[in-house]
Amino acid sequence: MNVPVIQVASISKRFGAAAVLNGLDWQVTPGQVIGLLGRNGAGKSTLLECLLGLREVDAGAVTIYGEDVNALSDATRARIGYVPQKSDLFEWLTPRQMLDYVRALYPRWNDAKVDGLLARWGFSQAMQARPISKLSGGEQQRLSIIRALGPDPELLILDEPVSALDPVGRREFLRELIDGVVERGTTVVFSTHILSDLERVALDVAFLKDGRITLQGQIDELLEGARRVAGPGVMKTPSLEDLFIEVTQ
Amino acid sequence: MTTHSAQLFSISTGSSEPIYRQLVEQVRRLVAAGQMSPGDGMPSVRDVAQALTLNPMTVSKAYSLLEMEGLLTRKRGMGMSVAERPTTGHSAAERAELLRPTLERAALEARQLELDPDTVLSLFTQILKEQA
Protein backbone atom coordinates (compact mmCIF):
# COMPACT_ATOMS: atom_id res chain seq x y z
CA MET A 1 0.00 0.00 0.00
CA ASN A 2 3.03 2.27 0.25
CA VAL A 3 3.67 2.30 -3.49
CA PRO A 4 2.28 5.58 -4.83
CA VAL A 5 -0.40 5.34 -7.49
CA ILE A 6 1.09 8.30 -9.31
CA GLN A 7 4.69 9.39 -8.96
CA VAL A 8 5.76 12.58 -10.69
CA ALA A 9 9.49 13.30 -10.73
CA SER A 10 10.56 16.78 -11.69
CA ILE A 11 8.50 17.21 -14.85
CA SER A 12 8.70 20.31 -17.01
CA LYS A 13 6.54 21.36 -19.90
CA ARG A 14 6.76 24.53 -21.89
CA PHE A 15 4.62 25.90 -24.69
CA GLY A 16 6.86 28.20 -26.70
CA ALA A 17 8.38 30.64 -24.27
CA ALA A 18 5.96 29.86 -21.46
CA ALA A 19 7.02 27.28 -18.88
CA VAL A 20 3.75 25.76 -17.70
CA LEU A 21 5.21 23.01 -15.54
CA ASN A 22 8.57 23.74 -14.02
CA GLY A 23 10.33 20.84 -12.31
CA LEU A 24 7.10 19.65 -10.69
CA ASP A 25 7.25 16.84 -8.12
CA TRP A 26 4.10 15.17 -6.91
CA GLN A 27 2.87 11.96 -5.44
CA VAL A 28 -0.60 10.47 -5.09
CA THR A 29 -1.05 7.52 -2.73
CA PRO A 30 -3.68 4.77 -2.94
CA GLY A 31 -7.18 5.76 -1.85
CA GLN A 32 -6.40 9.47 -1.75
CA VAL A 33 -9.19 11.77 -2.86
CA ILE A 34 -7.36 14.90 -3.84
CA GLY A 35 -8.49 18.19 -5.33
CA LEU A 36 -6.11 19.99 -7.65
CA LEU A 37 -6.50 23.74 -7.32
CA GLY A 38 -4.99 26.65 -9.18
CA ARG A 39 -5.88 29.82 -11.00
CA ASN A 40 -7.10 29.81 -14.59
CA GLY A 41 -4.14 29.10 -16.80
CA ALA A 42 -2.05 27.69 -13.95
CA GLY A 43 -1.62 24.48 -15.96
CA LYS A 44 -4.00 22.09 -14.22
CA SER A 45 -5.23 20.50 -17.44
CA THR A 46 -1.68 20.28 -18.77
CA LEU A 47 -0.56 18.57 -15.57
CA LEU A 48 -3.44 16.06 -15.68
CA GLU A 49 -2.73 15.33 -19.35
CA CYS A 50 0.95 14.80 -18.57
CA LEU A 51 0.03 12.46 -15.71
CA LEU A 52 -1.90 10.32 -18.16
CA GLY A 53 0.78 10.38 -20.84
CA LEU A 54 -1.56 12.25 -23.20
CA ARG A 55 1.01 15.01 -23.45
CA GLU A 56 4.73 14.50 -23.68
CA VAL A 57 6.83 16.18 -21.02
CA ASP A 58 10.01 18.08 -21.88
CA ALA A 59 11.83 16.70 -18.85
CA GLY A 60 11.18 14.44 -15.89
CA ALA A 61 9.12 11.28 -15.57
CA VAL A 62 5.66 10.10 -14.56
CA THR A 63 4.89 6.60 -13.34
CA ILE A 64 1.43 5.17 -12.70
CA TYR A 65 1.24 2.01 -10.61
CA GLY A 66 5.01 1.78 -11.01
CA GLU A 67 4.94 1.83 -14.83
CA ASP A 68 6.34 4.55 -17.07
CA VAL A 69 3.32 6.44 -18.32
CA ASN A 70 4.63 6.32 -21.89
CA ALA A 71 4.71 2.54 -21.82
CA LEU A 72 1.64 1.55 -19.82
CA SER A 73 0.55 -2.06 -20.06
CA ASP A 74 -3.03 -2.73 -21.15
CA ALA A 75 -3.77 -4.10 -17.69
CA THR A 76 -2.72 -0.83 -16.03
CA ARG A 77 -4.46 1.28 -18.65
CA ALA A 78 -7.69 -0.55 -17.84
CA ARG A 79 -7.42 0.55 -14.22
CA ILE A 80 -7.58 4.26 -15.12
CA GLY A 81 -10.66 6.40 -15.77
CA TYR A 82 -10.36 9.93 -17.17
CA VAL A 83 -12.89 12.70 -17.64
CA PRO A 84 -11.38 15.42 -19.82
CA GLN A 85 -12.38 19.05 -19.46
CA LYS A 86 -13.65 19.17 -23.01
CA SER A 87 -15.40 15.91 -23.70
CA ASP A 88 -14.24 14.24 -26.84
CA LEU A 89 -16.80 11.57 -27.35
CA PHE A 90 -17.09 10.39 -30.94
CA GLU A 91 -19.74 12.99 -31.61
CA TRP A 92 -21.25 11.24 -34.61
CA LEU A 93 -22.18 8.17 -32.54
CA THR A 94 -25.20 7.91 -30.27
CA PRO A 95 -24.53 7.54 -26.53
CA ARG A 96 -25.41 3.86 -26.73
CA GLN A 97 -23.12 3.21 -29.71
CA MET A 98 -20.26 5.08 -28.04
CA LEU A 99 -20.63 3.15 -24.79
CA ASP A 100 -20.82 -0.18 -26.64
CA TYR A 101 -17.66 0.74 -28.52
CA VAL A 102 -15.75 1.80 -25.39
CA ARG A 103 -17.01 -1.23 -23.47
CA ALA A 104 -15.26 -3.55 -25.90
CA LEU A 105 -11.91 -1.91 -25.11
CA TYR A 106 -11.98 -2.89 -21.45
CA PRO A 107 -11.53 -6.32 -19.89
CA ARG A 108 -14.12 -5.38 -17.26
CA TRP A 109 -17.21 -3.24 -17.68
CA ASN A 110 -19.96 -2.60 -15.17
CA ASP A 111 -23.16 -2.74 -17.25
CA ALA A 112 -25.41 -2.37 -14.22
CA LYS A 113 -23.65 0.79 -13.12
CA VAL A 114 -23.68 2.31 -16.61
CA ASP A 115 -27.37 1.52 -17.19
CA GLY A 116 -28.25 2.77 -13.71
CA LEU A 117 -26.43 6.05 -14.26
CA LEU A 118 -27.97 6.55 -17.70
CA ALA A 119 -31.42 6.11 -16.18
CA ARG A 120 -30.75 8.26 -13.09
CA TRP A 121 -29.05 11.03 -15.05
CA GLY A 122 -31.91 11.49 -17.47
CA PHE A 123 -30.73 9.66 -20.58
CA SER A 124 -34.08 8.61 -22.00
CA GLN A 125 -34.32 6.07 -24.81
CA ALA A 126 -34.93 8.93 -27.25
CA MET A 127 -31.83 10.74 -26.04
CA GLN A 128 -29.71 7.61 -26.26
CA ALA A 129 -30.65 7.34 -29.93
CA ARG A 130 -29.51 10.89 -30.80
CA PRO A 131 -26.00 11.70 -32.01
CA ILE A 132 -23.79 12.94 -29.18
CA SER A 133 -23.16 16.18 -31.10
CA LYS A 134 -26.84 17.05 -30.53
CA LEU A 135 -26.59 16.77 -26.74
CA SER A 136 -26.13 19.82 -24.52
CA GLY A 137 -22.79 20.57 -22.86
CA GLY A 138 -24.03 19.27 -19.53
CA GLU A 139 -25.40 16.08 -21.08
CA GLN A 140 -22.09 15.47 -22.83
CA GLN A 141 -20.23 16.00 -19.57
CA ARG A 142 -22.49 13.53 -17.77
CA LEU A 143 -21.96 11.01 -20.55
CA SER A 144 -18.21 11.51 -20.31
CA ILE A 145 -18.37 10.76 -16.57
CA ILE A 146 -20.47 7.62 -17.19
CA ARG A 147 -17.94 6.46 -19.76
CA ALA A 148 -15.08 6.93 -17.29
CA LEU A 149 -16.91 5.06 -14.51
CA GLY A 150 -17.91 2.10 -16.73
CA PRO A 151 -14.75 0.04 -16.18
CA ASP A 152 -14.87 0.56 -12.38
CA PRO A 153 -11.50 2.34 -12.46
CA GLU A 154 -9.11 2.15 -9.51
CA LEU A 155 -7.70 5.56 -10.43
CA LEU A 156 -10.06 8.27 -11.58
CA ILE A 157 -8.76 11.54 -12.98
CA LEU A 158 -11.30 14.28 -13.61
CA ASP A 159 -10.58 17.66 -15.17
CA GLU A 160 -13.26 20.09 -14.02
CA PRO A 161 -15.91 17.39 -14.21
CA VAL A 162 -18.81 19.61 -13.18
CA SER A 163 -18.05 22.83 -15.05
CA ALA A 164 -21.07 22.40 -17.36
CA LEU A 165 -23.45 20.95 -14.76
CA ASP A 166 -26.22 22.79 -12.92
CA PRO A 167 -26.45 22.51 -9.11
CA VAL A 168 -28.72 19.45 -9.30
CA GLY A 169 -26.39 17.74 -11.75
CA ARG A 170 -23.41 18.59 -9.58
CA ARG A 171 -25.03 17.14 -6.50
CA GLU A 172 -25.97 13.96 -8.38
CA PHE A 173 -22.40 13.65 -9.55
CA LEU A 174 -21.06 14.12 -6.00
CA ARG A 175 -23.45 11.43 -4.74
CA GLU A 176 -22.16 9.02 -7.34
CA LEU A 177 -18.58 9.94 -6.53
CA ILE A 178 -19.18 9.22 -2.84
CA ASP A 179 -21.35 6.10 -3.10
CA GLY A 180 -19.89 4.49 -6.17
CA VAL A 181 -16.29 5.62 -6.21
CA VAL A 182 -14.91 6.82 -2.87
CA GLU A 183 -16.56 3.94 -1.00
CA ARG A 184 -14.72 1.45 -3.21
CA GLY A 185 -11.39 2.93 -2.19
CA THR A 186 -10.76 4.42 -5.63
CA THR A 187 -7.94 6.95 -5.89
CA VAL A 188 -9.38 10.21 -7.21
CA VAL A 189 -7.61 13.28 -8.55
CA PHE A 190 -9.81 16.11 -9.73
CA SER A 191 -9.40 19.73 -10.64
CA THR A 192 -12.22 22.12 -9.91
CA HIS A 193 -13.02 25.71 -9.08
CA ILE A 194 -16.09 24.77 -7.09
CA LEU A 195 -14.64 24.69 -3.61
CA SER A 196 -17.90 23.75 -1.89
CA ASP A 197 -17.98 20.48 -3.86
CA LEU A 198 -14.33 19.91 -3.15
CA GLU A 199 -14.81 20.23 0.60
CA ARG A 200 -17.53 17.59 0.56
CA VAL A 201 -15.57 14.96 -1.31
CA ALA A 202 -11.83 15.59 -1.15
CA LEU A 203 -9.77 15.05 1.97
CA ASP A 204 -6.64 16.54 0.45
CA VAL A 205 -5.89 19.51 -1.76
CA ALA A 206 -2.87 20.39 -3.85
CA PHE A 207 -2.21 23.89 -5.16
CA LEU A 208 -0.54 24.36 -8.54
CA LYS A 209 1.28 27.63 -8.93
CA ASP A 210 4.28 28.76 -10.98
CA GLY A 211 4.56 25.31 -12.50
CA ARG A 212 4.88 23.46 -9.21
CA ILE A 213 2.76 22.00 -6.43
CA THR A 214 3.36 24.76 -3.90
CA LEU A 215 1.16 23.45 -1.11
CA GLN A 216 -0.47 20.13 -0.39
CA GLY A 217 -2.24 18.84 2.67
CA GLN A 218 -5.43 17.70 4.32
CA ILE A 219 -8.17 20.31 4.01
CA ASP A 220 -8.97 20.01 7.73
CA GLU A 221 -5.38 20.58 8.76
CA LEU A 222 -4.87 23.45 6.33
CA LEU A 223 -7.96 25.21 7.67
CA GLU A 224 -7.01 24.64 11.29
CA GLY A 225 -3.36 25.48 10.70
CA ALA A 226 -4.26 28.70 8.93
CA ARG A 227 -6.17 29.86 12.01
CA ARG A 228 -3.79 32.21 13.66
CA VAL A 229 -3.32 35.56 15.19
CA ALA A 230 -2.34 37.83 12.33
CA GLY A 231 -1.46 40.83 14.47
CA PRO A 232 -2.52 42.62 17.60
CA GLY A 233 -6.22 42.14 18.01
CA VAL A 234 -6.73 40.44 14.66
CA MET A 235 -7.47 36.75 14.42
CA LYS A 236 -7.77 35.18 11.00
CA THR A 237 -10.00 32.19 10.51
CA PRO A 238 -9.82 31.66 6.77
CA SER A 239 -12.13 29.49 4.71
CA LEU A 240 -10.90 27.32 1.88
CA GLU A 241 -11.70 30.18 -0.48
CA ASP A 242 -9.56 32.60 1.55
CA LEU A 243 -6.79 30.02 1.52
CA PHE A 244 -7.09 29.62 -2.26
CA ILE A 245 -6.75 33.36 -2.76
CA GLU A 246 -3.81 33.61 -0.39
CA VAL A 247 -1.92 30.62 -1.75
CA THR A 248 -2.42 31.21 -5.46
CA GLN A 249 -1.69 34.92 -5.62
CA MET B 1 -34.09 5.06 23.43
CA THR B 2 -34.19 6.43 19.93
CA THR B 3 -32.00 6.01 16.91
CA HIS B 4 -31.38 9.40 15.44
CA SER B 5 -31.64 10.01 11.72
CA ALA B 6 -28.92 11.52 9.59
CA GLN B 7 -31.21 14.51 9.02
CA LEU B 8 -30.14 15.61 12.47
CA PHE B 9 -26.97 17.08 11.04
CA SER B 10 -26.45 20.03 8.81
CA ILE B 11 -23.16 21.40 7.58
CA SER B 12 -22.12 24.48 5.70
CA THR B 13 -19.35 24.57 3.14
CA GLY B 14 -17.18 27.62 2.67
CA SER B 15 -16.76 27.94 6.44
CA SER B 16 -13.48 28.37 8.26
CA GLU B 17 -14.65 25.51 10.44
CA PRO B 18 -13.68 22.14 8.91
CA ILE B 19 -16.72 19.97 8.22
CA TYR B 20 -15.74 17.25 10.71
CA ARG B 21 -15.53 19.95 13.43
CA GLN B 22 -19.02 21.16 12.55
CA LEU B 23 -20.34 17.62 13.05
CA VAL B 24 -18.47 17.24 16.35
CA GLU B 25 -19.84 20.51 17.68
CA GLN B 26 -23.38 19.63 16.66
CA VAL B 27 -23.27 16.36 18.58
CA ARG B 28 -21.78 18.09 21.61
CA ARG B 29 -24.51 20.70 21.57
CA LEU B 30 -27.32 18.19 21.04
CA VAL B 31 -26.06 16.04 23.90
CA ALA B 32 -25.55 19.04 26.13
CA ALA B 33 -29.03 20.26 25.33
CA GLY B 34 -30.53 16.86 26.08
CA GLN B 35 -31.86 16.38 22.56
CA MET B 36 -29.67 13.29 22.48
CA SER B 37 -29.88 11.05 25.50
CA PRO B 38 -27.49 8.40 26.80
CA GLY B 39 -28.02 5.14 24.94
CA ASP B 40 -29.50 6.79 21.84
CA GLY B 41 -28.26 5.28 18.58
CA MET B 42 -26.35 7.42 16.12
CA PRO B 43 -27.00 7.24 12.38
CA SER B 44 -24.38 5.17 10.58
CA VAL B 45 -21.39 6.83 8.97
CA ARG B 46 -22.70 5.77 5.60
CA ASP B 47 -26.16 7.26 6.20
CA VAL B 48 -24.73 10.58 7.30
CA ALA B 49 -22.29 10.65 4.38
CA GLN B 50 -25.12 10.00 1.94
CA ALA B 51 -27.61 12.39 3.51
CA LEU B 52 -25.13 15.27 3.60
CA THR B 53 -23.16 14.27 0.47
CA LEU B 54 -19.88 13.98 2.32
CA ASN B 55 -16.83 11.79 2.12
CA PRO B 56 -17.50 9.00 4.68
CA MET B 57 -14.00 9.52 6.08
CA THR B 58 -15.03 12.99 7.25
CA VAL B 59 -17.96 11.54 9.18
CA SER B 60 -15.87 8.76 10.73
CA LYS B 61 -13.28 11.29 11.76
CA ALA B 62 -15.96 13.22 13.66
CA TYR B 63 -17.34 10.03 15.26
CA SER B 64 -13.86 8.86 16.30
CA LEU B 65 -13.10 12.17 17.91
CA LEU B 66 -16.40 12.07 19.81
CA GLU B 67 -15.62 8.52 20.88
CA MET B 68 -12.22 9.63 22.18
CA GLU B 69 -13.90 12.42 24.09
CA GLY B 70 -16.19 9.84 25.65
CA LEU B 71 -19.36 11.36 24.24
CA LEU B 72 -20.09 8.38 21.99
CA THR B 73 -19.43 4.69 22.48
CA ARG B 74 -19.06 2.04 19.85
CA LYS B 75 -21.17 -1.04 20.46
CA ARG B 76 -20.10 -4.19 18.74
CA GLY B 77 -22.30 -4.77 15.72
CA MET B 78 -24.59 -1.94 16.74
CA GLY B 79 -22.75 1.13 15.55
CA MET B 80 -22.29 4.24 17.62
CA SER B 81 -24.47 5.41 20.48
CA VAL B 82 -24.47 8.23 22.97
CA ALA B 83 -22.40 7.29 26.01
CA GLU B 84 -24.10 6.67 29.34
CA ARG B 85 -21.86 8.98 31.31
CA PRO B 86 -20.24 11.37 28.90
CA THR B 87 -16.87 13.05 29.50
CA THR B 88 -15.77 11.02 32.51
CA GLY B 89 -12.11 10.16 32.85
CA HIS B 90 -10.92 13.39 31.26
CA SER B 91 -9.02 15.97 33.20
CA ALA B 92 -10.43 19.45 33.59
CA ALA B 93 -7.60 20.74 31.41
CA GLU B 94 -8.57 18.35 28.60
CA ARG B 95 -12.19 19.32 28.85
CA ALA B 96 -11.30 23.00 28.94
CA GLU B 97 -9.37 22.53 25.72
CA LEU B 98 -12.65 21.51 24.03
CA LEU B 99 -13.92 24.96 24.76
CA ARG B 100 -11.03 26.66 23.00
CA PRO B 101 -12.52 26.96 19.45
CA THR B 102 -15.69 28.55 20.80
CA LEU B 103 -13.76 30.93 23.01
CA GLU B 104 -11.42 31.85 20.16
CA ARG B 105 -14.39 32.89 18.11
CA ALA B 106 -15.80 34.86 21.04
CA ALA B 107 -12.42 36.52 21.51
CA LEU B 108 -12.34 37.53 17.87
CA GLU B 109 -15.77 39.12 18.13
CA ALA B 110 -14.80 40.84 21.37
CA ARG B 111 -11.82 42.43 19.64
CA GLN B 112 -13.95 43.48 16.71
CA LEU B 113 -16.30 45.15 19.20
CA GLU B 114 -13.26 46.78 20.83
CA LEU B 115 -14.14 45.41 24.25
CA ASP B 116 -11.40 45.27 26.85
CA PRO B 117 -10.58 41.90 28.48
CA ASP B 118 -11.98 42.85 31.88
CA THR B 119 -15.41 43.68 30.46
CA VAL B 120 -15.48 40.43 28.47
CA LEU B 121 -14.32 38.30 31.40
CA SER B 122 -16.84 39.77 33.80
CA LEU B 123 -19.58 39.17 31.24
CA PHE B 124 -18.44 35.59 30.81
CA THR B 125 -18.30 35.08 34.59
CA GLN B 126 -21.82 36.42 34.82
CA ILE B 127 -23.04 34.07 32.08
CA LEU B 128 -21.39 31.09 33.77
CA LYS B 129 -23.16 31.91 37.03
CA GLU B 130 -26.51 32.32 35.29
CA GLN B 131 -26.28 28.83 33.84
CA ALA B 132 -25.31 27.34 37.20
Closest by Cβ to A33, choosing from B13, B55, B108: B55
What is the torsional sign of CA A187, A52, A45, A149?
negative
Mean pLDDT on A64-68: 95
Give the mean pLDDT of A24-40.
95
In chain A, which among 220-249 make CB contacts under 8 A with chain B? 220, 223-224, 227, 233-235, 237-242
Q: Which residues pair with A33 in a beta bridge?
A: A188
Residue A232 has a pLDDT of: 54
Task: Tell me whether residues B50 and A179 touch, CB distance under 8 A.
Answer: yes
Interface of B with A in 66-95 (CB under 8 A): none
Q: Are the C-beta atoms of A192 and A21 separated by less than 8 Å?
A: no
Q: H-helix or E-strand containing A17? A: none
| A233–B55 C-beta distance less than 8 A | no
Residue A140 DSSP SS3: helix
User: In chain A, which among 40-79 make CB contacts under 8 A with chain B?
Assistant: none
- Per CATH, which fold does B6-82 belong to? Arc Repressor Mutant, subunit A (1.10.10)
Please tell me if residue B21 touches chain A, with a CB cutoff of 8 Å: yes
Check if the beta carbon of residue A46 is closer than 8 Å to that of residue A20.
Answer: yes
What is the secondary structure of chain B as a DSSP string? --B--GGG----TT-SS-HHHHHHHHHHHHHHTTSS-TTPBPPPHHHHHHHHT--HHHHHHHHHHHHHHTSEEEETTTEEEE-SSTTTT--HHHHHHHTHHHHHHHHHHHHHTT--HHHHHHHHHHHHHHH-
What pLDDT, in 10s, does the model give residues A162-215? 888 999 999 999 999 998 888 888 999 999 999 999 999 999 999 999 999 999
Q: How far away is chain A from the Cα of B16, in angstroms, using its nearest Cα? A: 4
First to last CA, chain A: 35
Percent of chain A predicted with pLDDT > 90: 74
- Contact at 8 Å (CB) between A218 and A203? yes
Strands across the sheet containing A59-64:
A18-28, A6-15, A59-64, A67-68
User: Distance between CA atoms of A21 and A12, rounded to whole angstroms?
Assistant: 5
Amino acid sitting at position A134: K
Cβ pair A15, A50 in contact under 8 A: no
Which chain B residues touch A203 with a CB distance below 8 Å?
Answer: 55, 57-58
Percentage, residues of chain A above pLDDT 70: 95
Kindly state whether A166 is in contact with chain B, defined as any CB-CB distance less than 8 angstroms: no
Residue type for position A48: L
Pairing of strands A204-209, A187-191: unpaired
Q: What is the pLDDT of residues A128-159, one digit of tens each?
A: 999 999 999 899 999 999 999 999 999 999 99
Q: Are B38 and A219 in contact, with CB atoms under 8 Å apart?
A: no
- The reported pLDDT for the residue numbered A52 is 94
Question: What is the DSSP secondary structure assignment for residue A30, as one 8-state letter?
Answer: T
Of A175, A196, A237, the CB nearest to B16: A237
Closest residue in B to A197 (Cα) is B13
Residues of B in contact with A242 (CB under 8 A): 16
Please compute the mean of the pLDDT values over residues A216-232 and round it to a whole number: 76
Q: Is the pLDDT of residue A74 over 70?
A: yes
CB < 8 Å to B46, chain A: 183
Whether A170 contacts A181, CB under 8 Å: no
Domains of chain B, by residue range, sit at: 6-82, 99-131
Q: Which pLDDT band, with edges at 50, 70 and 90, does A85 fall under?
A: confident
Q: Which is nearest to A95 in space by CA: A117, A68, A65? A: A117
Chain A neighbors of B9, CB-CB under 8 A: none
Residue type, B109: E
Amino acid at A246: E
Averaged over A113-131, what is the pLDDT?
93
Q: For residue B62, what pLDDT band results from cuts at 50, 70 and 90?
A: very high
Q: Give domain limits for chain A.
A: 85-152
C-beta contacts of A120-129 below 8 A and 24+ residues apart: A120/A172, A121/A146, A121/A169, A121/A172, A123/A95, A127/A95, A128/A94, A128/A95, A128/A96, A129/A94, A129/A96
CA atoms of A34 and A53, how far apart (whole Å): 19
Distance between first and last Cα of chain B: 28
φ, ψ (nearest 5 deg) of residue A228:
-160, 165
